[in-house]
Structure 1
């Protein structure tokens, strides 16, 4: 073999013919063998190309001269089910790839990866390449964390800053446990309230409909609406058969269909445009069934059951996935994630601790925080354990959070801030690495009993007086 032939073979070695269903994509002189079916399923660009009947659609090799190899590799890793940590340059290149190839799963991954470290970069890159959903979601994150990010916002152009300024910040909202009432016995405390942080006052947002129950009800927010499912009334825990929705934009209530299986003490989660009613009880029997509600069609459908019956299971969302904690005697909580594509609950990890049944689970970035009662019989203490989804490692947060001071088992994360509340005080913590540091103190919620808390974007209008 001549030297010229050797050089020619070396150049072609990286892209030797593969199976007929695969194609070799050259990006920045790097070859990537990819399943055609995967590209057709995930990319509008390749779907149109391979179904066009053009000569290029039948070639075993093709080049993408406009893209970077790092961005294309990030796309392939996401499509393979990985959740890669991307540096600044890789992030920018991944946005370019998602836009040029119209790869929805990659765009969704970038949305779910928005945090205080990359939100400005993602906002700028999405503006350049025209990824509107990513652009809007990054802008919302910046709006919610404006005070903390303000020193870094000077790099943004005037038009980008103006867009952020047009958005409404999210507001901390809470509601107590109330049962349905009659009009002639109207309970004026049956209200949803929001925290006016400027005046340090809880104000009334809206009164609950007479037939709505928030006692043992499933409640969740989605698309700036509060949804209420189930709940009970009476000593025998009769389940409420109506479901209610509060639209914060319209300041109006409406009813919507209830799940096929009536349930109370249910966990309701808004995820990817659907509501999930997870477990719960009916007639004092714990349930493992899960139903999904499509607001567009107004219909509920059953999806895969939980691995075991569970009521009031701690749930949260992180990195675009639903996580649920199921308690197994003795002292074990198993964390599962819901795989929506395969419709399956997959085990992630176990927490083995005394009193390990998690009363609350919240997420920040790629960390799950499990709040539980303290050791032995010390129920005035809250211990917080942290599980990192990437490293698959557990760690314990230093310090204890006391029931008498802070609000256990109700927590909401906005940006890098955790809001907790009870009747005495509302405490704000700053999440720094894997530690919660005390940040601010606000007035407590003026209602006894259990609470459910949310974030809503409230239109600028006059609400009721402080309550």
Structure 2
């Protein structure tokens, strides 16, 4: 069987021929897996003809399966959806989901409905729901059923959590809350109170499957690490506990991908860490994956096109971007940026761009400057102008559709990303707490949250 899978097979699609490793097809395509393992005559043929499928879509599929990240036109997106559905290629469907943007979301939504790719259909609908006002003039092309489905969904809300350490139960502590921005009323409202033993101070926090996960954090003068982790489900308005990482840590970055959380770096007993742990939500277990190239705390992290990236800083003027390769379980260097260093930084992603945000010139921590790295061209550009950090903290930036949400105690500022420019859109109420913040997007149940903060 192993020698058979190592063979190459010639696939004819329309007038084109493709020589493909059988292993690749069996690993990723339900159609070919069933075909090659069926024992039928076709399973041993050296050449197979696929009918009712486009060569364009098949070529795109092969690129994705080989680890490439093609930028697709409208026609290519349509053919890619057709191929993913016909050959039952989950990897291709996930790639299309990761590539949803304001230019292709309506097309992908219609195509997914036509060919029955349910995950892509739902993901595209959620994207359109979140960007409804910006896309409304283009939705006339949708059938009433497709439009009704979008409008039945709950849009995501901007959520913020302040730094909190456990206190006595009888003390009223406003920092022990999760809050969301009611944009219609322009006020922050309380969504839930943290568990009494939970800490968000130097904790790792992330969202996965519309739930907030809180891992680690410290309490007390000696920075004792919280060894339990917490999960908040807004649909049930309930908290559950789950195990902490095998290596206690704080001041680390937590990010989510597929069915897993990744605890990246951090610190323990005043020593920076380079270890990374993965929590599998389905099995409720932690396991170590490849270490970072260097120990680091509070590492900037962003996800673009379904890929995880981190920024590592090397004194005094060098920033290294690394990507975590899931299949190979390794961190690979992507690019280097040389800029005068200053403290405070984060990274956010939009489409195939990574935005590196740092303090302004001459260590001016009241201003932010930004550099953009494009993953397709592998080129750096500097965004013109400076962003005043005292009005909206870009170090907690969250992107919904083409809109950036930034917040501090004074104001919540919204920017529109257009042609790689961040243009001011509007302002909303600032978060009424002092101290550091972590921000997220959550889809909240349709209930009356009447507690204003």
TM-score, normalization: structure 2? Answer: 0.98
The alignment partner of 1:379 has SS state of strand
- Counterpart of 1:380? 366
Give, in whole Å, the separation in 1 of the partners of 2:246 and 2:6. 47
Give, in whole Å, the separation in 1 of the partners of 2:209 and 2:127. 15
Following superposition, the deviation at residue 186 of structure 1 comes to 3.8
The alignment partner of 2:75 has SS state of helix
Q: If you compute each CA radius of gyration, which structure gives the higher value, 1 or 2? A: 1
The alignment partner of 2:17 has SS state of strand
Matches within 5 A, 1:40-439: 40-355=26-341, 359-439=345-425
Give, in whole Å, the separation in 1 of the partners of 2:264 and 2:211. 19
Following superposition, the deviation at residue 214 of structure 1 comes to 0.6
Following superposition, the deviation at residue 291 of structure 1 comes to 0.5
The alignment partner of 1:459 has SS state of coil
Give, in whole Å, the separation in 2 of the partners of 1:440 and 1:304. 42
Equivalent pair of 2:342/2:362 in contact (CA under 8 Å): no
Give, in whole Å, the separation in 2 of the partners of 1:351 and 1:375. 16
Following superposition, the deviation at residue 218 of structure 1 comes to 0.5
Equivalent pair of 1:26/1:62 in contact (CA under 8 Å): yes
CA deviation digits over 1:400-433, x for unaligned, max 9? 0112212130000000000000000000000001
Equivalent pair of 2:26/2:36 in contact (CA under 8 Å): yes
Following superposition, the deviation at residue 175 of structure 1 comes to 0.9
Following superposition, the deviation at residue 90 of structure 1 comes to 1.0
The alignment partner of 1:147 has SS state of helix
The alignment partner of 1:206 has SS state of strand
Count of paired positions: 449
CA deviation digits over 1:137-188, x for unaligned, max 9? 0000000000000011000001001111111100000011010112122413
Give, in whole Å, the separation in 1 of the partners of 2:6 and 2:331. 34
Give, in whole Å, the separation in 1 of the partners of 2:65 and 2:194. 44
Q: Find runs of 4+ consecutive structure 1 residues off by over 3 angstroms.
A: none
The alignment partner of 2:362 has SS state of coil
The alignment partner of 1:164 has SS state of helix
CA deviation digits over 1:77-101, x for unaligned, max 9? 1111111111111110110000000
Equivalent pair of 2:342/2:363 in contact (CA under 8 Å): no
- Counterpart of 1:9? none
Give, in whole Å, the separation in 1 of the partners of 2:27 and 2:344. 38
TM-score, normalization: structure 1? Answer: 0.95
Equivalent pair of 1:229/1:258 in contact (CA under 8 Å): yes
Give, in whole Å, the separation in 1 of the partners of 2:268 and 2:229. 16
